[in-house]
Protein backbone atom coordinates (compact mmCIF):
# COMPACT_ATOMS: atom_id res chain seq x y z
CA UNK A 1 0.00 0.00 0.00
CA UNK A 2 1.42 3.38 -0.96
CA UNK A 3 0.76 6.24 1.46
CA UNK A 4 1.73 9.87 1.90
CA UNK A 5 2.35 11.57 5.23
CA UNK A 6 3.24 15.04 6.39
CA UNK A 7 6.71 15.89 7.58
CA UNK A 8 7.24 18.19 10.53
CA UNK A 9 9.07 21.35 9.46
CA UNK A 10 12.32 20.28 11.12
CA UNK A 11 12.14 16.80 9.50
CA UNK A 12 12.73 18.09 5.97
CA UNK A 13 16.47 17.56 6.23
CA UNK A 14 15.95 13.85 6.91
CA UNK A 15 14.68 13.27 3.35
CA UNK A 16 18.10 14.01 1.87
CA UNK A 17 19.99 11.02 0.54
CA UNK A 18 17.01 8.67 0.26
CA UNK A 19 16.07 7.31 -3.15
CA UNK A 20 13.07 5.28 -4.35
CA UNK A 21 13.24 1.70 -3.13
CA UNK A 22 15.39 2.45 -0.05
CA UNK A 23 14.42 0.66 3.16
CA UNK A 24 13.75 3.32 5.79
CA UNK A 25 12.36 3.65 9.28
CA UNK A 26 9.75 6.35 9.79
CA UNK A 27 9.63 7.94 13.24
CA UNK A 28 6.24 9.45 14.03
CA UNK A 29 5.46 12.59 16.03
CA UNK A 30 3.64 11.69 19.24
CA UNK A 31 4.47 14.80 21.27
CA UNK A 32 1.28 15.84 23.05
CA UNK A 33 -0.86 13.48 20.96
CA UNK A 34 -2.69 10.20 21.19
CA UNK A 35 -2.37 9.45 17.46
CA UNK A 36 0.49 10.26 15.13
CA UNK A 37 -0.21 12.32 12.02
CA UNK A 38 3.24 13.48 10.94
CA UNK A 39 6.80 12.24 10.68
CA UNK A 40 9.72 13.68 12.64
CA UNK A 41 12.52 11.58 11.14
CA UNK A 42 13.25 9.32 8.18
CA UNK A 43 16.31 7.18 8.86
CA UNK A 44 18.00 4.36 6.97
CA UNK A 45 16.52 1.08 8.14
CA UNK A 46 19.93 -0.48 8.73
CA UNK A 47 21.12 2.48 10.83
CA UNK A 48 18.13 2.09 13.15
CA UNK A 49 18.72 -1.65 13.47
CA UNK A 50 22.42 -1.13 14.22
CA UNK A 51 21.30 1.23 16.99
CA UNK A 52 19.01 -1.55 18.31
CA UNK A 53 15.85 0.49 17.78
CA UNK A 54 13.01 -2.01 17.45
CA UNK A 55 10.17 -0.38 19.33
CA UNK A 56 8.55 3.01 19.60
CA UNK A 57 6.51 5.16 17.29
CA UNK A 58 8.30 3.71 14.29
CA UNK A 59 7.32 2.04 11.04
CA UNK A 60 9.65 0.23 8.62
CA UNK A 61 8.79 1.20 5.05
CA UNK A 62 10.01 1.49 1.49
CA UNK A 63 10.84 5.07 0.52
CA UNK A 64 9.03 6.16 -2.66
CA UNK A 65 9.44 9.95 -2.86
CA UNK A 66 9.52 13.18 -0.89
CA UNK A 67 8.46 16.73 -1.60
CA UNK A 68 10.37 19.21 0.55
CA UNK A 69 8.19 22.15 -0.57
CA UNK A 70 4.95 20.39 0.34
CA UNK A 71 6.64 18.73 3.36
CA UNK A 72 5.37 15.26 2.48
CA UNK A 73 6.90 11.83 2.13
CA UNK A 74 5.45 8.98 0.08
CA UNK A 75 6.20 5.47 1.28
CA UNK A 76 5.09 1.89 0.78
CA UNK A 77 4.13 -0.69 3.42
CA UNK A 78 2.59 -4.14 2.99
CA UNK A 79 -1.18 -4.27 3.14
CA UNK A 80 -2.48 -6.69 5.78
CA UNK A 81 -4.48 -9.45 4.10
CA UNK A 82 -7.60 -8.61 6.09
CA UNK A 83 -7.52 -4.97 4.97
CA UNK A 84 -7.77 -5.49 1.22
CA UNK A 85 -11.52 -4.85 1.20
CA UNK A 86 -11.11 -1.72 3.33
CA UNK A 87 -8.95 0.13 0.82
CA UNK A 88 -10.05 -1.49 -2.45
CA UNK A 89 -11.50 1.10 -4.79
CA UNK A 90 -10.46 4.11 -2.72
CA UNK A 91 -10.11 7.33 -4.64
CA UNK A 92 -7.38 9.69 -3.51
CA UNK A 93 -6.91 11.73 -1.47
CA UNK A 94 -8.31 9.75 1.42
CA UNK A 95 -7.05 9.60 4.98
CA UNK A 96 -6.32 6.19 6.44
CA UNK A 97 -5.38 5.18 9.95
CA UNK A 98 -2.97 2.32 10.50
CA UNK A 99 -3.07 0.25 13.69
CA UNK A 100 0.57 -0.59 14.32
CA UNK A 101 2.17 -2.35 17.29
CA UNK A 102 4.94 -0.53 19.15
CA UNK A 103 7.34 -3.41 18.50
CA UNK A 104 8.70 -3.57 14.95
CA UNK A 105 11.38 -6.28 15.11
CA UNK A 106 11.29 -7.20 11.40
CA UNK A 107 12.19 -5.47 8.17
CA UNK A 108 8.57 -5.74 7.01
CA UNK A 109 6.13 -3.49 8.86
CA UNK A 110 3.77 -5.20 11.27
CA UNK A 111 0.36 -3.63 10.65
CA UNK A 112 -2.63 -4.86 12.61
CA UNK A 113 -5.31 -2.97 10.71
CA UNK A 114 -6.27 -0.24 8.29
CA UNK A 115 -9.22 2.10 8.66
CA UNK A 116 -10.51 4.76 6.25
CA UNK A 117 -11.07 7.99 8.19
CA UNK A 118 -13.48 10.71 7.16
CA UNK A 119 -12.02 14.18 7.52
Using a cut of 0.85, tell me whether the model's pTM lies above it. Answer: no
With beta carbons less than 8 A apart as the criterion, state whether 83 and 95 touch.
no
pLDDT digits (tens, 9 = 90+) for 31-65: 888 888 889 999 999 999 899 888 889 999 999 99
79 is in which domain, residue-wise? 2-117
Residue 119 CA to residue 105 CA, distance in Å, equals: 32
Comparing CA positions, the residue from 64, 30, 59 lying closest to residue 45 is 59
Whole-number Å distance between alpha carbons of 17 and 88: 33
Please determine, for residue 25, whether its predicted confidence score (pLDDT) is greater than 80.
yes
Higher-confidence residue of 97 and 83: namely 97
For the chain, the domain total comes to 1
89-101: per-residue pLDDT in tens?
Answer: 666 666 777 888 8
Amino acid sequence: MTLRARLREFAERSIEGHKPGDRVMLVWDMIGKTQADSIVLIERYQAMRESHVEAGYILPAEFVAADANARTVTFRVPLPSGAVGTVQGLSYPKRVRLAVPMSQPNETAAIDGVEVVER
